[in-house]
Amino acid sequence: MALTLVARGNELASSREQLRTLAATASCTPFHARMSSAALAPLMPTGIQVFQINVGKFCNQTCRHCHVDAGPDRTEQMSRETAQLCIRALAGTDIPTVDITGGAPELNANFRWLVEQARALGRHVMDRCNLSVLLVGPQKDLPDFLALHRVEVVASLPYFRPAQTDAQRGDKVFAKSIEALGLLNRLGYGREGSGLVLNLVHNPVGAFLPARQEGLEAQFKRELGRQHGIVFNRLYTITNMPIGRYLQFLLESGNYEGYMQRLANAFNPAAAAAVMCRHTISIGWDGTLYDCDFNQMLDLPLKHHAREHVHLSDLIDAEIAGNPIRVAGHCYGCTAGQGSSCGGALREAAE
């Protein structure tokens, strides 16, 4: 299994070093200037539809492209106290969707409690699932739990062939993913009329942009169905963000400047107008608020008026709205081509 940047003592484990690298990129116009020329600066929220909770960096896998630098050695985990604050804050809003992510969010001791509480408030819940976690011993009843609570499963599967998936996510991860998808399918996930939604997420294995979503979705459906009898609802394609372990891969392989140039050349004003940070609030494992999960990993907290750091406890007392979103060079990953978020209907507005 690969090691996290932290375990390797790599200098890119520091968000400051990642931001320094992004700021020194020679091959593209600064992102805020590009947004200005598209009349999108400052970038403003359009109304929060998604309450995204990142419960921590612990994961059973160490994928090569992870923007979180998650892995088995990471100890950052959301506590019950912060999970309770999440639910208190959520209850004070009418935000319809709760999106739980990590690491492997299911391995957090408060994951099931968060799901139950959010569902009790009548909110739609999404679980960002790496699939192999469904086979981890103590999690064997997890598919039943997810089905019982009508949780939408958004599952990473880079490709429909083992070689590409294992190269990115680890040895035998493809086989485990297929086994986990089979478990979900048997419960009705991904099947017409069941109401149990199973969406897959594809990201490219190398330093290139994803192919068009519709064509790839048809290919995934055909190949996974034919070879493994797997069904699912939608395939989302995401662009690899030049942060975390993917940034390290780009630099190590000599692809960094070329990749950034590719992203900048593919800048799409329609995708830029529909980036997920405009309708998402992102909560870190310690309760700090961010505009998105990527800013979270770069330690760029949400700004509220003159304050540089806003915590969940502030959200309980005040509406966090109307403040410009913090952007930097990594944002080119969200504005290239068709855009890059797996927010379903909201994303489709960019296409």
The footprint of ligand SF4 (CB under 6 A) covers: 275-277, 291-292, 294-295, 325, 327, 330-331, 334
**Smaller CB distance to ligand SF4: residue 156 or 295?**
295
- CA distances in angstroms from 82 to 54, 286, 298, listed in the order given: 11, 7, 21
| Residue type at position 170 | G
Q: What is the DSSP string of 75-94?
A: --B--HHHHHHHHHHHHTS-
Token representation of residue 183: 């478990």
Task: Report, in Å, the least distance between residue 42 CB and ligand SF4.
Answer: 11
Task: Report, in Å, the least distance between residue 327 CB and ligand SF4.
Answer: 5
**Smaller CB distance to ligand SF4: residue 127 or 293?**
293
Instruction: Please give the Cα distance from 191 to 212 (Å, whole number).
Output: 24
Task: Report, in Å, the least distance between residue 351 CB and ligand SF4.
Answer: 16
| Residue type at position 214 | E
Task: Report, in Å, the least distance between residue 53 CB and ligand SF4.
Answer: 16
Q: Phi and psi at residue 318, in whole multiples of 5°?
A: -145, 150
Residue 232's nearest CA partner among 155, 342, 124 is 155
Contact between 72 and 59 under an 8 Å Cβ cutoff? The reply is yes
Instruction: Please give the Cα distance from 102 to 154 (Å, whole number).
Output: 12
**Smaller CB distance to ligand SF4: residue 90 or 241?**
241
Task: Report, in Å, the least distance between residue 123 CB and ligand SF4.
Answer: 21
| Residue type at position 138 | P
**Smaller CB distance to ligand SF4: residue 311 or 347?**
347
Task: Report, in Å, the least distance between residue 330 CB and ligand SF4.
Answer: 5
**Smaller CB distance to ligand SF4: residue 213 or 341?**
341
Cα radius of gyration (the chain)? 19
On the CB side of 103, CA atoms within 13 Å amount to 24
**Smaller CB distance to ligand SF4: residue 250 or 277?**
277
Token representation of residue 116: 């139950």
**Smaller CB distance to ligand SF4: residue 100 or 142?**
100
Task: Report, in Å, the least distance between residue 300 CB and ligand SF4.
Answer: 8
**Smaller CB distance to ligand SF4: residue 133 or 277?**
277
Task: Report, in Å, the least distance between residue 180 CB and ligand SF4.
Answer: 28
Q: Which residues pair with 283 in a beta bridge?
A: 53, 289
**Smaller CB distance to ligand SF4: residue 44 or 120?**
44
Contact between 119 and 97 under an 8 Å Cβ cutoff? The reply is no
- 308-335 burial, b at 16+ Cβ within 10 Å, e below that, comes to eebbbebbeeeebeebebbbbbbbbbbb
Token representation of residue 220: 């995934």
Task: Report, in Å, the least distance between residue 276 CB and ligand SF4.
Answer: 5
Instruction: Please give the Cα distance from 201 to 227 (Å, whole number).
Output: 19
